[in-house]
Amino acid sequence: MKKAVNRSLVFAVLFLCMSAIVTPASSVVETPLTGKYRGINVYFMNQDPDPADAGKDVELRWRVVVAKVGKIDNLEFYLDADYPFLFEAGDGPLKSLGTVVATGTVEHYYVLYYRLRVADNALKGEYNVSLRWRDGEGGWTRKYFTLRVDPERPDFVIGAVRTSPERLVEDTDEALLKVEVSNIGDGDAENVKARLTLPPGFNASYAYSDEDALGTIKEDESKTAHFYIDTIEGLEAGEYNANLTLTYKEEDDEENEYRTKILPFKIPIKRSPYLVIDSVETVPPVVHPDTDVSLLIRVKNTGSEEADAVSLRVFKDSTQPFEYDEKSDFVGKLKPGETGEALIRLKVKEDAAAKKYLIDVELRGVETNTDRVVIFSRTAPLRVYPKEKVIPVLPIGAVVVALGGAAGAWHLLRRMK
């Protein structure tokens, strides 16, 4: 008999302990239960999976304990869940447990179930949801809970951005742009392709030079995309916004779906001197074959930095009919917007064809702030005109004789008429 009583006591204690169990869950705020239904308690049982994964479903369960003696005609609950959670089709935030009758002899408990969809672009973090139920007096009682999301999928960020040449400036052709792509997510990305979107002032150097295939980027690994770009003349120094568009497949994706992510980054353009030929004059103004010519070339710094020790040098071209007495000249220091002059002396050959020639010129200077040598290839135009026609000059006596003969012939003709 004592054994039976002891066994009953043990079962009673175990039942009371089980009734008091609350599955660990983060309940950050609890509104005091008041009113007619103050005997209702809600405990979060679990989320499955925990943490939830982006783009997939998560199941939520609560244990609803009714300790209030009496009848509740319609016990309703409403789940408030914002981003990144979505209600699946056919399901909604309002749930009803129907009529509940509590006798008071034992606590009545029910399982409240919800199924939510986690947004595809959900980020890792903790998100609050609230569950509320009617208090029987026209209001609601609310309780907050925290759900965890940790997407098991690739995620990308831009790492180092490098250029070659290291200092990217205006009017540069085929500059190498290297952009590091890091996978900081929880899964591998397969068949990753990168496409570069450039701001105004930049162009792809040639077809497909703004695209690169990176293959597989594993979790916690990085790969570098390589592009070739041009910058236009007159591009001001500063940082320019560009975008890198990645397309990829998630590892073990049964739907074999390609995903896209756009990553913004900046391309730096440095301050630099920029030397151009502003104008060309010749002495004499009209150049003919077999002529000595002084070529006055004005050099201008249109860049954003001062250039020191600016000089000009002409490259002799064997196909051009020129012999140079002086092929180089020193210009000096040029601040941004300033102009200097260089003088080149040459001889136009006697058999030079009449046409416009483009003489290859190199402009060289030193960037004052960095001591970096800058070199620019330019052309200077020189037009050669045809040889002047020489009109023979007769002696005065010969002219008088010719005129007299012409007059005599004219009078003779008149008599014959």
Q: What is the pLDDT along the chain (417 residues), one digit of tens a residue?
A: 444 434 444 344 334 334 333 333 333 333 443 444 467 889 999 999 888 988 889 999 999 988 766 777 888 899 999 999 999 867 889 998 888 877 766 667 889 999 999 998 888 889 999 999 877 677 788 999 999 998 778 889 999 999 999 999 999 999 999 999 999 988 899 999 999 999 999 999 999 999 999 999 999 999 999 999 999 999 999 999 999 999 999 887 767 788 899 999 999 999 999 999 999 999 999 999 999 999 999 999 999 999 999 999 999 999 999 999 999 999 999 999 999 999 999 999 999 999 999 999 999 999 998 899 999 999 999 999 998 765 555 555 555 555 555 555 555 556 655
pLDDT of residue 41: 86
Dig out the tokens for 116 from the structure: 């939510």
pLDDT of residue 19: 39
Q: What is the pLDDT of residue 40?
A: 84
Collapsed DSSP state (helix, strand, coil) of residue 122: coil
Per-residue confidence (pLDDT) for residue 89, from 0 to 100? 66
Q: Determine how many CB atoms are found less than 10 A away from the CB of residue 284.
A: 10
Tell me which H or E stretch contains 415.
helix 396-416
Number of DSSP helices (H) and strands (E) in the chain, helices first: 2, 26
pLDDT of residue 316: 92
d(CA 118, CA 87) in angstroms, rounded, equals 9
Q: Residue 109 corresponds to which tokens in the numbers above?
A: 């408990």
| Count of Cβ atoms closer than 10 Å to residue 116 Cβ | 22
Dmax over CA atoms of the chain, in Å, equals 181
